[in-house]
A = this chain, B = another copy of it.
Amino acid sequence: MADVIKVGVLGARGKVGAEVCRAVEAAADTELVAAVDAGDPIEALVEAGAEAVVDFTHPDVVMGNLEFCVAQGIHAVVGTTGFDDDRLATLRGWLDSSPGTGVLIAPNFSIGAILMMRFAAAAAPFYESVEVVELHHPDKADAPSGTARRTAELIAAARRAAGSPPVPDATSTSLDGARGADVDGIRVHGLRIRGLVAHQEVILGGVGETLTIRHDSLDRASFTPGVLTGLRGIAAHPGLTVGLEHFLDLD
């Protein structure tokens, strides 16, 4: 790709898509060449010379979008949900016929959330204890959050791999719910507080010390740096990638 990446946005008039358009326009190394939404012809991407697209649309239309883009050799950075093993297999088939084209499917574009999960899993085998606390606004329907569950699963897996013993807990008398939810042996607590957006803390502890890793998302625009990171890395990652963490050079 050239120094400035020509970007098309699919779902451009949605709330998230509009934020993506603004971020692509604002960055020095990306250029918004096509803003496409329901009803617009997807061929506009080709006419505009888009090298990569960002897709925040809907599970019903995303596969059609990707089939078109991959066939045209346009890279795709995808935040749309609903990818199961069947869909991923189909995608891999299309990509096999279009070598050099990359598709990134990312359930989470928050770089902070990705680093938090990564660091928590890396640190977990060094500590006796670890718990997860997530804090969100009170209009959220599920508890704990998907990110908190995923974090606990990653921590549990890292501890299993390292042969860590179960976390200690001498609780013998307890009010129902006081010790949180149990996710693979890791305790997870969900708080719902007006004024908050999306926050999570992982607390690890050993003899005489604790290590705390906290992520605060204060604004919905916090996912846009992750989308730009995806756009900047996609040409160098042909084929299918699941998870933005593979684009972050952490080792």
Contact = CB atoms under 8 A, between A and B. Distances in A.
Interface of A: 110-112, 115-116, 119, 122-123, 126-131, 133, 135, 138-144, 149, 167-183, 187-197, 203-222, 224-225, 248, 250-251
Given A175-B183, A193-B131, A197-B218, A170 B115 contact: no
Given A139-B170, A189-B189, A195-B208, 5 more contacts: A131-B193, A140-B171, A174-B190, A212-B213, A251-B251
**Overall SS of chain A's interface:** mixed
21 contacts: A112-B211, A126-B248, A129-B138, A131-B191, A139-B170, A140-B170, A141-B171, A141-B172, A143-B174, A178-B189, A187-B192, A193-B203, A197-B218, A207-B219, A208-B217, A208-B220, A208-B222, A209-B215, A209-B222, A211-B214, A211-B215
Copies in the complex: 4
Given A138-B167, A170-B141, A195 B210 contact: yes
Nearest to A148: B178
